[in-house]
């Protein structure tokens, strides 16, 4: 009887699984009903995940041109914002930026100013965060107002109209971007390929990232790579995006299904694009990129480290108004970014792990031989 009772209890336990699933089914339907308005409203934002949003990823809707409509509209709106902000960048630089998709400016600082800025960066003791991708570690320190109070040279540099105006124009957003100290360390952590070293576009609409290199960047350090002309929305690119959108939701490279399409040499050839250009640049060089363009990190030697001031700015691609340039807006963005990171930390702690961007101490940031978990 003892064994019979155990067997019966196991049978009863097994039978509860489909019953439990049946109980959850209405809840799942309610969840979907509740989420549909949110998924729909997300169409009018920078949301780009074919996987997370069943409307953005719907095969039938994309066959009907949903992705292409969002793509073309976003680029049209961005042209209007660029027109409204054209006074922030000189005509020759604007022409170069729109032709190539990037702008390179050398020798923004004197040698003495650059050394003073590097001393501040190397002495920064604010909390840092780490992201591990393959065998690459990316470390960042937020350059918010609290951190910049201790870094007067850096603060002056990041307030210089020669820098800020160019960045705001490229972003199509009349607001300071988010700034970080960034260190990219190659050949550490988990083994495997760094996905950021695959050619890709960040999203479906123009956006801005910038790098101010504090040291010379030779080929061995994995320079930033960019495909010139890949930001232009040609008919070939529209057809390529249309074809990719129809299958994006089921792709499994880890990024295309989230809206960051990957490219290979065959794609570049089909689009009539050249090979990527590697930015092996001297220290004291600012590179501003429209990251709708095709780009990646370059391959690097194990142990190579690249340090820079990194800037990021993204805006609702369907909002034609670039903003009023009010200072408090930038402070709100910094607060929201930090709140999001803290939320991710709490969620990861509940799972018993680390968030994708987890906190490390400043000593690990400055170390050339970090120990990744």
What is the pLDDT averaged over residues 346-363?
91
What is the pLDDT averaged over residues 88-95?
98
What is the pLDDT averaged over residues 96-109?
98
45-366 in CATH: which number? 2.60.120.620
* Residue 207, token pair as written in the block: 């956006």
- Residue 323's CB is within 10 A of a number of other CB atoms, namely 16
Q: How far is CA 5 from CA 1, 11, 16, 68, 213, in A?
A: 6, 10, 17, 62, 71
> Each residue of 17-38: pLDDT tens digit?
445 455 445 555 556 778 899 9
Q: How far is CA 30 from CA 16, 49, 190, in A?
A: 22, 22, 40
- Dist CA 244 CA 241 (whole Å): 5
Residue 188: the pLDDT is 82
pLDDT classification of 371: cutoffs 50, 70, 90? low
**Could you give the percent of the chain with pLDDT greater than 90?**
79
Residue 121: the pLDDT is 96
What is the pLDDT averaged over residues 58-66?
97
Provide φ and ψ at 130, rounded to 5°.
-130, 140
pLDDT above 50 (res 373): no
Q: Kindly tell me the burial class for residue 320, based on how many C-beta atoms sit within 10 Å of its own C-beta (0-12, 13-18, 19 or more).
A: middle
Residue 328: the pLDDT is 82
pLDDT above 80 (res 369): no
pLDDT above 50 (res 115): yes
pLDDT classification of 301: cutoffs 50, 70, 90? very high
Residue 11: the pLDDT is 36
Residue 40: the pLDDT is 96
> Each residue of 159-210: pLDDT tens digit?
999 999 999 999 999 999 999 999 999 998 667 889 999 999 999 999 999 9
> Each residue of 121-171: pLDDT tens digit?
999 998 899 999 999 999 999 999 999 999 999 999 999 999 999 999 999
* Burial 130-143, CB ≥16 within 10 A → b, else e: bebbbbbbbbbbbb
- Residue scoring higher pLDDT (252 or 217): 217
What is the pLDDT averaged over residues 261-289?
98
- 74's CB contacts (< 8 A; 6+ apart) are 204, 205, 206, 317, 318
Residue 207: the pLDDT is 97
Residue 12: the pLDDT is 41
* Residue 294, token pair as written in the block: 């095709």
What is the pLDDT averaged over residues 271-295?
98
Q: Where are the alpha helices (DSSP H) in the chain?
A: 2-41, 59-63, 66-84, 91-100, 111-122, 145-148, 152-157, 161-171, 235-245, 265-270, 327-351, 362-366
What is the pLDDT averaged over residues 70-98?
98
| Residue 244 and residue 187 in contact, taking contact as beta carbons nearer than 8 Å | no
For the chain, the domains span: 45-366
Across all residues in the chain, what is the average pLDDT? 90
pLDDT classification of 218: cutoffs 50, 70, 90? very high
- Dist CA 44 CA 265 (whole Å): 32
Residue 3: the pLDDT is 34
pLDDT classification of 372: cutoffs 50, 70, 90? very low
What is the pLDDT averaged over residues 350-362?
91
């Amino acid at each position: 009887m003892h064994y019979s009772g155990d067997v019966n209890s196991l049978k009863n336990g097994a039978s509860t699984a489909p019953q439990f699933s049946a109980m959850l089914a209405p809840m799942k339907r309610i969840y979907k009903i509740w989420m549909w308005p949110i998924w729909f409203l997300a169409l009018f934002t920078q949301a780009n995940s074919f996987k997370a949003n069943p409307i953005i990823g719907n095969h039938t809707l994309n066959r009907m041109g949903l992705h292409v409509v969002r793509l073309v509209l976003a680029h049209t709106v961005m042209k209007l914002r660029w027109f409204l902000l054209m006074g922030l960048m000189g005509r020759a630089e604007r022409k170069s930026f729109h032709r190539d998709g990037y702008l390179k400016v050398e020798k923004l600082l004197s040698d003495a100013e650059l050394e003073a800025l590097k001393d501040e960066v190397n002495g920064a003791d604010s909390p840092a965060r780490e992201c591990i991708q393959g065998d690459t570690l990316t470390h960042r320190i937020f350059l918010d107002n609290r951190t910049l109070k201790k870094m007067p040279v850096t603060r002056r540099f990041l307030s210089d109209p020669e820098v800020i105006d160019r960045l705001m124009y490229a972003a199509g957003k009349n607001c300071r971007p988010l700034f970080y100290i960034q260190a990219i360390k190659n050949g550490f952590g988990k083994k495997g390929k760094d996905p950021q070293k695959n050619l890709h576009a960040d999203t479906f609409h123009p956006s801005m990232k910038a790098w101010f290199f504090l040291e010379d960047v030779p080929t061995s350090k994995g320079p930033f790579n960019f495909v010139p002309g890949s930001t232009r929305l040609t008919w070939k690119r529209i057809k390529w995006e249309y074809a990719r959108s129809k299958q994006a939701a089921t792709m499994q490279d880890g990024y295309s299904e989230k809206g960051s399409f990957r490219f290979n040499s065959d794609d570049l050839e089909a689009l009539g694009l050249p090979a990527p250009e590697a930015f092996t640049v001297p220290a004291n060089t600012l590179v501003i990129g429209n990251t709708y363009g095709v780009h990646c990190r370059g391959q690097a030697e194990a142990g190579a480290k690249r340090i820079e001031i990194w800037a990021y700015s993204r805006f609702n691609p369907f909002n034609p108004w670039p903003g009023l340039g009010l200072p408090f807006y930038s402070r709100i963005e910094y607060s929201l970014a930090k709140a999001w990171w803290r939320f991710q930390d709490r969620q990861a702690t509940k799972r018993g792990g680390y968030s994708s961007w987890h906190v490390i101490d400043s000593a690990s940031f400055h170390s050339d031989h970090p120990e990744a978990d």
